[in-house]
Amino acid sequence: MTQKGRLLGWPTWIGVVVEDLDGQGRFWSELLGVSESERGSDYIQFDLPGGRTFELLRRSSDPEYDRPRFQVGFAVDDIQRARDELIARGVEPIAEIVEGDDSSWAYFRDAEGNVFEITQRPSGS
């Protein structure tokens, strides 16, 4: 838990699913006033102050990226425990936990179908 009694804290990540990754990358770089911190074939990441991340994700057939939209990611201390608790509360998982190089994440839908993410980063990140 992030604080006493709370499963999720304030969002640390905002993702935008886009069609035109390069065009949107230029647009958001100008608006945010920062350069890309990381880029892959299907994403562009902008690191912002306070450990916050703004990420553009190329639209795909994956359920978490299947249409253009904004989505938020919440930091959790223990991703497996948080995922289990969300499922126990009736929240719909749409992906298993993904283990990345420097973080782990999983996607869900709220009661109206909005996609959100939980993510766990190593201590001190």
The residues, any chain, with a CB within 8 Å of residue 76's CB and separated by 6 or more, are: 2, 7, 8, 9, 82, 118, 119, 120
In this prediction the pTM is 0.80
Structural domain boundaries in the chain: 11-120
Do residues 109 and 92 make contact, with C-beta atoms less than 8 angstroms apart? yes
The rounded percent of the chain whose pLDDT value lies above 90 is 79
The identity of residue 9, as a single letter, is: G
Q: Which two three-digit tokens encode residue 1?
A: 């838990």
Using alpha carbons, select from 95, 114, 115 the residue that is nearest to residue 105.
95
CATH fold of 11-120: 2,3-Dihydroxybiphenyl 1,2-Dioxygenase; domain 1 (3.10.180)
Q: What are 9-41's pLDDT values in tens digits?
A: 889 999 999 999 999 999 999 999 999 999 999
